[in-house]
């Protein structure tokens, strides 16, 4: 599918399968290709029309390179001095409007919405601010947005921020390094496959400035604790017991805030969609969507 108009930006969208629409929202700096092909196929087999898209500033979607990326100081100011204007290009509320804009472009009144990491935060805001458009919400390895629930191992954050590959081979090696950092539960890793995907993603698109603008969006967005208490759609929260990036308390707190939400903890899962967790995650998503149809 070509680029679609999603409000203020043009976004690259792909669909696979038939059935109930299921919108997948990816995390910071990550292209839609980070939703593994095998994972998507499992969802299609369970009867979903799976919709993936590149968020603004990554992949094949519109890049906002006319806006300088925020500095670290500007990000910190956005997070810790919210009463002062922050010099960031956009926030997660804008990205939630992008997601709803994808539904508009596809002629969909509503959809099941699944988000991972930053994508989970965007999905939260879809349910909070665009409630009628969200059939069900599945929040994976995400959090309400305050520092207590979001701050993980600083060494992992340092690894994420330090990776700046300059070619496809370096990108593959960087992806392997990050996979290890995200995997303290020591699930087995297929390093050649991970490196190959990292290299392919680099060739598809590389935009460090877009990553910085998205990270600034996270920092500039107010915590969602009050808003999550207003969510009325069936909600399921999935989190790994060994997530070093967004601690498991972030998932627990999200589930506690949303009325009637269910919580699924996956043993040894870190901050990635590891193949050994796919079946459990898909079962969780399916269970949540069934609550909408019951």
Of 105, 107, 117, 9, the closest CA to residue 55 belongs to: 9
Starting from the edge strand earliest in sequence, which strands make up the sheet with 9-16, in order? 3-6, 9-16, 48-53, 20-25, 111-116, 134-140, 235-240, 262-266
d(CA 119, CA 259) in angstroms, rounded, equals 21
Which pLDDT value is given to residue 83?
47
Which pLDDT value is given to residue 236?
98
Which pLDDT value is given to residue 113?
98
> Domains of the chain, with CATH numbers?
3-152+209-293 (3.40.50.1820)
- The two structure tokens encoding residue 139: 């929040």
d(CA 123, CA 235) in angstroms, rounded, equals 11
- The two structure tokens encoding residue 279: 């079946």
Packing angle of the helix pair 72-80, 208-220 (nearest 10 deg): 20
Q: How far is CA 156 from the centre of its chain?
A: 17
Which pLDDT value is given to residue 81?
62
CB–CB of 217/57 below 8 Å?
A: no
d(CA 134, CA 288) in angstroms, rounded, equals 12
| Residue 165: exposure state from Cβ atoms within 10 A (0-12, 13-18, ≥19) | middle
pLDDT in tens, the chain (294 residues): 689 999 889 999 999 999 999 999 999 999 999 999 999 999 999 999 999 999 999 999 999 999 888 776 666 666 666 545 566 789 999 999 999 999 999 999 999 999 999 999 999 999 999 999 999 999 999 999 987 777 888 899 889 888 999 999 999 999 999 999 999 999 999 999 999 999 999 999 999 999 999 998 998 898 999 999 999 999 999 999 999 999 999 999 999 999 999 999 999 999 999 999 999 999 999 999 999 987
Which pLDDT value is given to residue 72?
67
176 to each of 26, 98, 180, 202, how far by Cα in Å?
A: 19, 30, 6, 13
The bridge status of strand 20-25 relative to strand 262-266 is: unpaired
Q: What is the pTM of this model?
A: 0.95
């Amino acid at each position: 599918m070509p680029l679609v108009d999603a409000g203020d930006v043009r976004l690259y969208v792909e669909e696979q399968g038939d059935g109930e629409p299921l919108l997948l929202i990816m995390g910071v700096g990550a292209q839609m290709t980070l939703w593994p092909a095998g994972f998507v196929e499992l969802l299609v087999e369970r009867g979903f029309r799976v919709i993936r898209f590149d968020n603004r500033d990554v992949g094949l979607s519109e890049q906002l390179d006319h806006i300088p990326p925020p500095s670290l100081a500007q990000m910190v100011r956005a997070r810790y001095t919210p009463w002062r204007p922050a010099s960031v290009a956009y926030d997660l509320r804008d990205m939630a409007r992008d997601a709803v804009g994808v539904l508009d472009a596809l002629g969909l009144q509503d959809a099941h919405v699944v988000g991972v990491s930053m994508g989970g935060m965007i999905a939260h805001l879809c349910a909070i601010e665009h409630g009628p458009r969200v059939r069900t919400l599945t929040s994976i390895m995400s959090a309400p947005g305050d520092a207590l629930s979001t701050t993980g191992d600083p060494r992992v954050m340092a690894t994420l921020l330090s990776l700046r590959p300059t070619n496809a081979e370096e990108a593959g090696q960087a992806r392997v390094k990050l996979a290890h950092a995200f995997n303290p539960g020591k699930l087995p890793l297929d390093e050649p496959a991970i490196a190959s995907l990292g290299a392919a993603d680099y060739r598809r698109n590389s935009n460090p400035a877009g990553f910085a603008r998205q990270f600034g969006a996270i920092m500039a967005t107010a915590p969602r604790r009050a808003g999550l208490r207003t969510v009325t759609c069936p909600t399921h929260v999935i989190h790994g017991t060994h997530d070093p990036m967004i601690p498991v308390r972030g998932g627990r707190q999200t589930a506690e805030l949303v009325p009637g939400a269910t919580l699924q903890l996956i043993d040894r899962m870190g901050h990635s969609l590891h193949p050994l967790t796919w079946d459990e995650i898909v079962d969780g998503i399916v269970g949540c969507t069934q609550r909408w149809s019951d």
